[in-house]
Amino acid sequence: MTAARIPVTVLTGFLGSGKTTVLNRLLRQPALDGTVAIINEFGAVGLDHLLAESSEESFALLDNGCICCTVRDDLVATLKAVHARSRDGALPPVRRVLVETTGLADPVPILHTLAVEPALSALFAIDGVVATVDAVNGPATLAAHAEAAKQVAVADRLLITKTDLAGTAAVAALEARLAQLSPTAGRLQVRHGAVAADQVLGCGLEAAGQGAGLAGWFEAASLAADRAAAQCGDPACGHDRHDHRHHHHDAGPHHGISAHAFVIDEPLEWDAFAQWLDYVTALKGEDLLRMKGLLHMAEEPDRPLVVHAVQHVVHPPVRLDAWPDAERRSRLVFIVRDIDREVIERTLARFASIDTGRMARPASALRVA
Ligand SMILES: Nc1nc2c(ncn2[C@@H]2O[C@H](COP(=O)(O)OP(=O)(O)OP(=O)(O)O)[C@@H](O)[C@H]2O)c(=O)[nH]1
């Protein structure tokens, strides 16, 4: 008998943005009973009613030398120990794990470790990535630190904290910035960590794929990506999506991060699509911050496939039992750093044999539907 994998929520966010405050409030809720919190810094946090483990920074670099593909030995060891102790009765049964990253951490090595380390991927499943963004310091932090922008870009849910300390105009401006950096993430304003468990648990794409939320998720993400592309929001740049000149923000507040959404009007062949995925993750993985897709496959047209990648890591695709809505077309959303829409189009055409004429921007496509 295979036991269900234990869901892991990764809680990230820049230094002082309110991660621990959120964690403490969450752990008091009954929905979090049986949760182990792993605090990714030196020293355990002494919260008496919960099981807190500490995990010291120690990175093991893989042969390819890419920082996003490091395996966090510390996390592997901690999670294996948690599982073993729970199995042996030394801990109460563990129903969920919450990993709080350090404020300066790139969360991707943690996601990578959970996804590719066989000892973990058999026991644990990533439930979602939650990032806190401070309404007061967030804008400056996002402008100055690429790590902060990356935390936002890979998140499934963004918690805007400290809105009690910021004016409504500042919060609205931050919301707009976040929508550009991470159009696929749901946003929520949170004061003093007060967030309900069901607003952050199960917020990842896999969880959405279980229910009817998936279609809505794609529609919202696609529209947001299209809006972000339509109006860059960086006053210095005057970018317009009808302007096809190359457009980079290396030094700007977006750190070159942008989103592209596609609707593909033709069933895909898995082998060809997988070949494209291999190509793009091998060559551009570091800049492919997030890719999520609902795919109409020629092999099983009635049962769409959910695919999900974070940098070089492609999660095992999940086949749904049915389409979540009436629209039977593939939908793909990419959050990338310095990868032009045209590059995705060109490589999809070349490797996955998709006619570029059948790839549409979703805003217009969805309006027609
Ligand atoms: N006014 C106000 N203060 C908050 C809010 N959320 C968090 N804080 C305060 O902000 C400070 C930092 O919060 P933490 O939860 O420790 O932030 P963190 O992200 O865990 O910090 P690091 O672990 O240093 O990265 C604390 O003093 C919190 O009480 C909020 O919504 N409003």
Residue with the smallest CA separation from ligand 1 atom 14 is: 18
Same domain, 256 and 315: yes
262 shares its domain with 137: no
Task: Tell how far the Cα of 71 is from the centroid of ligand 1, in angstroms.
Answer: 29
CATH number at residue 157: 3.40.50.300
Residue 208 domain-assigned (yes or no): no
Q: Give the total residue count for the chain.
A: 369
Tally of CA atoms within 13 A in the half-sphere of 197 that contains its CB: 12
Least trusted range by pLDDT, from 90-104, 135-149, 244-258: 244-258
Classify residue 50: in a domain, yes or no: yes
Residue 201 near residue 35 (C-beta atoms within 8 A): no
- pLDDT at 196 (0 to 100): 95
10 Å Cβ neighbour count for 144? 14
Q: Tell whether 221 is covered by a domain.
A: no
How many domains in the chain? 2
- 121 and 43 assigned to the same domain: yes
Mutate to test the pocket of ligand 1, among 12, 15, 21 (most ligand atoms within 8 A of CB): 21
ipTM above 0.90, yes or no: yes
Q: Write the residue with the smallest CA distance to atom 21 of ligand 1.
A: 16
User: In terms of domains, do 71 and 143 share one?
Assistant: yes
At position 77, the amino acid (one-letter code) is: A
- Whether 70 and 197 map to the same domain: the answer is yes
80 is a domain residue: yes
Burial 299-325 (b: 16+ CB within 10 A, else e): eeeeebbbbbbbbbbbbebeebeebbe
Whether 219 has a pLDDT exceeding 90, the answer reads no
Residues 44 and 169 both lie in one domain: yes
Same domain, 136 and 259: no
CATH number at residue 312: 3.30.1220.10
- The radius of gyration of the chain's CA atoms, rounded to the nearest angstrom, is 20
Residues 146 and 2: their CA atoms lie apart, in Å, by: 40
Ligand 1 atom closest to Cα of residue 22: 15
- Whether residue 42 has pLDDT greater than 60: no
User: Does residue 75 fall inside a structural domain?
Assistant: yes
Of 71 and 124, the one with more pLDDT = 124
Confidence of residue 247 (pLDDT cuts 50, 70, 90): very low
- Between the CA of 112 and the centroid of ligand 1 the distance, in Å, is 27
Residue from 14, 20, 141 to probe ligand 1 pocket by mutation (most atoms less than 8 Å from CB): 20
Same domain, 273 and 143: no
- Region 163-192: what's the mean pLDDT? 91
* Structural domain boundaries enclosing 130: 6-203
Cα(162) to centroid(ligand 1), Å: 8
| Distance (Å) from CA 54 to ligand 1 centroid | 19
Structural domain includes residue 222: no
pLDDT at 78: 83
Cα 113 from Cα 318, distance rounded (Å): 19
Query: Do strands 59-60 and 330-337 pair parallel, antiparallel, or not at all (unpaired)?
Result: unpaired
The CA-CA-CA angle for residues 312, 313, 315, to 5°, reads 155
Interior angle at CA 360, CA 357 and CA 362, nearest 5? 175
Say yes or no: 194 and 299 in one domain: no
Residue 154 has pLDDT above 60, yes or no: yes
Q: How far is the CA of 272 from the centre of ligand 1 (A)?
A: 47
Q: How far is the CA of 29 from the centre of ligand 1 (A)?
A: 19
The pLDDT assigned to 355 comes to: 82
User: Where do the DSSP E strands lie in the chain?
Assistant: 6-13, 35-39, 51-54, 59-60, 71-72, 96-100, 124-134, 157-161, 186-190, 257-264, 288-295, 305-310, 313-314, 318-319, 330-337, 359-360
147 and 292 together in one domain:
no
Is the model's pLDDT at 160 over the cut of 50? yes
For residue 220, being part of any structural domain is answered with: no
Considering 50-59, 207-216, 321-330, the range whose residues carry the highest mean pLDDT is 321-330
* Alpha-carbon gap, residue 1 to 7, rounded angstroms: 18
Position 115 in a domain: yes
Which residues have C-beta atoms less than 6 Å from ligand 1? 13, 15-21, 103, 132, 161-162, 164-165, 191-193
Q: Are residues 155 and 259 in the same domain?
A: no
Measured from the Cα of 24, ligand 1's closest atom is: 15
- 135 and 272 assigned to the same domain: no
